[in-house]
Structure 1
Amino acid sequence: MQIRPVLETDYPGVQALHRSVGWPQRSMAGWRWLHANPARLDIDAPAGWVAEGADGALGAHVGNLVQRFRLGEQTLHGATGFSIIVSPAARGASRDLINNFVQQPNVFAAWTFNANPRSQPLYARHGMQAWPEETNALKLAWPVAPLVLAAGRLLRAVHAAVPAIAPHLGEWLMNDRLGRVPRLKLPPGVTILTDLGDQSAYADFWRALNAEGGLLSDRSPAALRWRLSDPDLTLPPLILAFRRGRDITGYAQAMMAKGNIIEPPVLEIIDLQALADDAKAIPALMTALIAAARPMGAAKVRLQTTSRHGLARLGPHAASARHEGGWGHCHARFSADAPDPALWSPTPWDGDYAVCLRPLPLTPPGRSQARAGMRGTASKA
């Protein structure tokens, strides 16, 4: 097997690999969008690597999602791997694929924040460490529909006992709230964020956040606009702002996802940020997300990547969360000249979740209705 960078012409084969393991499949437009990632083009990094057989067939793949980072006035680049798939015909290729990923130049770090239990042991063999140290195995969830979650557990048990039944099950645990545009009742100070212009209040928030001196993945208005242009989104994420007058001091982004045909819908937190001097912003945003989950059709809210600092900022929501995970899904390898990792407090935004979560399987009418946007009413203090 020859290991080489992925080409745009490879994506039908990459799609076939995803199909072979039952993972969410991007459209060809979605793969082209990822391939044109502006941050990747900055440093001329591969969009991923494939293992190609003598017959030209692809036997393995790993994606390479490059992101810009800011540290004060300095711009850096980092990369998260995604969709590591190795077919039986390419057994053993994972070693060379992961080596290419972790040893790539021009990035301060290479990481995955979404390893599954089967692949998790691979990363230590390639110089990657479980990181963040205290929270690399922690996922947090806030149930809002316990009966739906129980039904999901039952379906998983049936599938585990009789795997051959899966193709005959169809799409379970859908509901008529999915894809609708609910009127959300938001806590005081929380609003739905729609203006991502370069001179918007959100742009001011991003500049203030960057000025605090942390190591931050690019959350500029342009970066958010690029993420939102993903052609495979079946409905836009919910983006919330916490405001002090006109000023934004915190923001959250979450998207509806459904892991597979027997999993319940989940409101997945993609990002959660606030200025250091506003201790109320993140708890208020979390209250809003949990309240929004059921009207949007979700069975729970989930935060799949956090840090010690991130946990501390959740306020009472840290204690009320159910702990999931446990196998160590977050691993990173830092370059010798990387900034101090303590400057970085990652969220799912830094990982592959926004591009790898399975979108809701909505019909076109539901999709068009959802794209009309959400409405919110703010409670009076």
Structure 2
Amino acid sequence: MLISVEDARLAARRTLPRWLFDYVDGGAYSEASLKNNFASLSAVRFIPAILCGVSAPDTAVKILETHQTFPLVLAPVGMGGLLSVEGEVAVVRAAAAAGIQTCLSHFSIQSIEDIARAVDPALLMFQLYIFRDRAITRDTLQRVWNAGVRTLVVTVDTPVTPMRERDARNGFRSISKLSFRHFTQMMIRPGWTWNMAHKGGRLMANLEPYGMGKTFFAQSATISRELDPTINWLDLKWIREVWKGRLVIKGVLHPEDTRRSAELGAEGIVLSNHGGRQLDGAVSGFEMLSENVQAANGRLDILVDGGFRYGSDIAKAMALGASGVMIGRPWAFGLAAEGQKGVADVIDYFHQGLRSTMTLLGARDIAALREGGKDFLRDVSGAACEPVPSSSIMKEHV
């Protein structure tokens, strides 16, 4: 059993070839954004409440009209199916068993159709990238709808792919085929290599119908050419018109973009710096949470990702007004380490941590956690915690 996310990470590092582990684990340039994601969460501390009589807090919540056992959503991770022969199906099954949603990556190894047959599609979201050829995007939207998925998550923060130095050092930045170095790294990971060679998926299945290449690496090269770097608000307006389900915009940080998302008719946003993989030196989604909650003014569900490693981190986000938290690397590490069981262990680790934190804060349920707001928190970095104004949870226990 995996005890923590860091256990899962270390197990994944021992299991995967270096070029694949670093692809998941790394960030852009100096990895300042990646490091700041952790630092911003660490800078906010709790002020516990005693003698509150809360032994079994209720963590249930509704996110984007879907009931969940607790406020965690598995974020999209491109090529996640390369991490284990069990593939993305194992991920969504672990999430469904835990009563939470998964957002499937556009660049998953298994197709949206196969994934949606594995679990109730009501527990699935689909991440969309917009291609230059809008016919591909339109057809993809129809496939997602036909699969029964009703929540679309459009990623908007990747007009270019910046230098990711670990990938460059590993020769994985602009790879067209495996090199001697890659094979050497694979040979010292014989378990992963054998399994992938004999039972693993080798293409990004959602792209297969569009003639983007007959190998994984050919597909990767095509993606870099065919993703549209010029997308703007007019393109999102078009998506809103074409897509009749729930629309979520992922990659928002500025409050003005939150306002525009609400005006566009989106149902939700994800505050995200893409896990520190895009703009080096960017603020974290957590740092911008309070301002964006105020900008949304109740019009949007607000998810936040980036650096979440503990259930206590979820409690911080909920106290500041989030609708829920997304995690990507933690479940990816769990999948690489122990397949579906590893993902389930990671999910349970977050859930247990949230429950114990709520007990120690005296929050009986998620509503109480939100109502307590800044009364639970102290920002030691010098910045102010400014959640949605609310009554103090302490009044509840007087």
TM-score normalised by length of structure 1: 0.28
Indicate the structure whose relative CO is greater, using CA pairs within 8 Å and at least 6 residues apart. 2
TM-score normalised by length of structure 2: 0.28
More strand by share: 1
More helix by share: 2
